């Protein structure tokens, strides 16, 4: 395949590769999906026939192995396949071909940006920041570079700079990806109404793109869920499934809303469908927890064991899972001493409010509640309205013997979202009475 035909493929694939180009990890942390780079902020294009594109690009590169454009595109396609399948081996493949493209063309923008997106997906945020800044230096007016930079800064706890980067991205290109970032920035600062309003703008911007529409409905549903609006959240997940049949994150979200309405059998069936589609740790954890609260402990343990296998595969392909692993282990009573050490490591490399909160929770479950209080205060420093973080603070105050303060935070968590956690909402109700 010659250069002209490769360029034609670039044009044909640009929509499918949009998510990989833009990258993102804003919805990472404990609530995110590790294999998707923390639930990438840019909507991945499941609708594209990425498998066929990968095969065509591989064939083309066999004939012309040093074609930089083909290497770039294959690297992005591999990232797309990782998002579609949950298979992190595609991250290693993507890194290999993108680095090869950069060796051939050291100042190539697409390869640099693609490596930045890959670093976000692997939770290597300092690396992502450096690559994003390098891409910005190559093309200061290219909006996606500000998304990579801002996403990395969020996870590094540098929020003021991150939000400024998102604002610049939206100024350059007000579209789905910049709207979604602005919405998340507002959510982090506790501006729920504003976050919903901007996510609705993102939904309007996704018209005509089935997968992007489904992704945005799911994000809007998560915002509704965060405030306990179960029916509204379920409506958005159903709309996502209309836009894109079998969309895994919509199935997972709908499973949680079904459980909140007491329909555990339906919830488990939906969670199974999400896991069967893409066995991401987030989905497997939700399925395991649903089985556990349904009294099916043996089946739950099998799902929890699967998470360990998935995480080992992720780590083998360069994905850092310290924060997610620490939270899972603490929540499920696994190696509490080791979880504290892991949470400390995670907080050092990812000093965000999520890193602070997981360390606070790990310390609490290990009985070190005085130290945990410092980290809980840090986790709430932005004014984020997060019921789980409020619950953790309530548990800390209870551990310290501050009963009035404990009830205040526990009741605040339940007032925000009475069903914030399959495992911990019932505990919050007992402790707050």
Which one, of 231, 199, 202, 236, lies nearest residue 217 by Cα?
A: 236
Q: What is the pLDDT, as a whole number, of residue 37?
A: 34
Find where tokens 């594209």 sit: 48
Please give the chain's pLDDT, 433 residues, in tens. Answer: 443 333 333 333 333 333 333 333 333 333 333 333 333 333 334 345 788 999 999 999 999 999 999 999 999 999 988 888 888 999 999 999 999 999 999 999 999 999 999 999 999 999 999 999 999 999 999 999 999 999 999 999 999 999 999 999 999 999 999 999 999 999 999 999 999 999 999 999 999 888 899 999 999 999 999 999 999 999 999 999 999 999 999 999 999 999 999 999 999 999 999 999 998 999 999 999 999 999 999 999 999 999 999 999 999 999 999 999 999 999 999 988 899 999 999 999 999 999 999 999 999 999 999 999 999 999 999 999 999 999 999 999 999 999 999 999 999 999 999 999 999 999 999 999 8
Show the DSSP H helices in 67-189 as ranges: 68-85, 89-104, 109-121, 125-138, 143-155, 159-172, 176-188
Write down the domain spans for the chain: 1-143, 321-433
Which one, of 118, 64, 124, 63, lies nearest residue 93 by Cα?
A: 118
What six digits make up the tokens of 290? 């649903």
Answer whether 1-143 and 321-433 agree in fold. yes
Q: What is the pLDDT, as a whole number, of residue 85?
A: 83
Q: What is the pTM of this model?
A: 0.88
Q: What is the pLDDT, as a whole number, of residue 386?
A: 98
Q: Are 179 and 201 in contact (CB under 8 A)?
A: yes
Question: In terms of residues, how long is the chain?
Answer: 433
Select from 1.25.40.10, 3.40.50.620, 2.60.40.420, 3.90.1150.10 the CATH code of 321-433.
1.25.40.10
Q: Distance between CA 88 and CA 34 in Å, rounded? A: 10
Please tell me the class of the 1-143 domain: mainly alpha
């Amino acid at each position: 395949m010659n250069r002209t035909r490769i360029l034609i493929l670039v044009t044909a694939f640009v929509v499918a590769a949009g998510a990989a180009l833009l990258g993102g990890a804003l919805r990472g942390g404990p609530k995110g999906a590790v294999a998707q780079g923390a639930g990438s902020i840019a909507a991945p294009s499941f609708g594209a026939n990425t498998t066929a594109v990968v095969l065509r690009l591989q064939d083309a590169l066999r004939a012309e192995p040093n074609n930089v454009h083909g290497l770039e595109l294959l690297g992005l396609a591999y990232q797309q396949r990782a998002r579609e399948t949950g298979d992190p081996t595609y991250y290693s493949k993507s890194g290999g071909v993108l680095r090869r493209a950069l060796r051939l063309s050291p100042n190539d923008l697409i390869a640099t940006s693609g490596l930045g997106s890959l670093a976000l997906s692997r939770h290597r945020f300092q690396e992502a920041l450096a690559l994003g800044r390098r891409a910005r230096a190559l093309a200061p007016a290219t909006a996606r570079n500000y998304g990579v930079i801002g996403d990395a800064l969020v996870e590094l706890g540098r929020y003021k700079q991150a939000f400024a980067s998102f604002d610049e991205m939206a100024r350059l290109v007000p579209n789905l990806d910049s709207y979604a970032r602005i919405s998340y920035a507002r959510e982090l600062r506790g501006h729920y109404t504003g976050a919903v309003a901007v996510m609705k703008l993102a939904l309007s911007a996704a018209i005509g793109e089935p997968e992007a529409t489904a992704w945005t409905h799911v994000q809007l549903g998560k915002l509704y869920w965060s405030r306990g609006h179960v029916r509204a959240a379920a409506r958005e997940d159903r709309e996502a499934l209309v836009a894109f049949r079998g969309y895994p994150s919509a199935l997972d979200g709908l499973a949680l809303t079904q459980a909140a309405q007491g329909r555990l059998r339906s919830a488990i069936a939906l969670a199974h469908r999400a896991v069967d589609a893409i066995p991401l740790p987030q989905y497997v954890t939700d399925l395991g927890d649903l089985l556990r609260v349904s009294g099916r402990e043996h089946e739950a343990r099998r799902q929890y064991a699967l998470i360990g296998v998935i995480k080992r595969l992720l780590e083998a392909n360069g994905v850092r899972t310290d924060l997610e692993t620490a939270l899972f282990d603490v929540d499920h009573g696994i190696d509490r001493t080791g979880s504290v050490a892991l949470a400390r490591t995670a907080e050092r490399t990812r000093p965000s409010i999520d890193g602070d909160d997981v360390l606070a929770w790990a310390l609490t479950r290990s009985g070190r509640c005085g130290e945990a209080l410092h980290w809980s205060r840090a986790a709430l420093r932005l004014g984020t309205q997060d019921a789980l973080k409020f619950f953790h603070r309530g548990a800390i105050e209870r551990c310290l013997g501050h009963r009035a303060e404990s009830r205040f935070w526990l009741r605040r968590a339940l007032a925000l979202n009475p069903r914030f956690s399959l495992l911990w909402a019932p505990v919050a109700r007992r402790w707050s009475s």
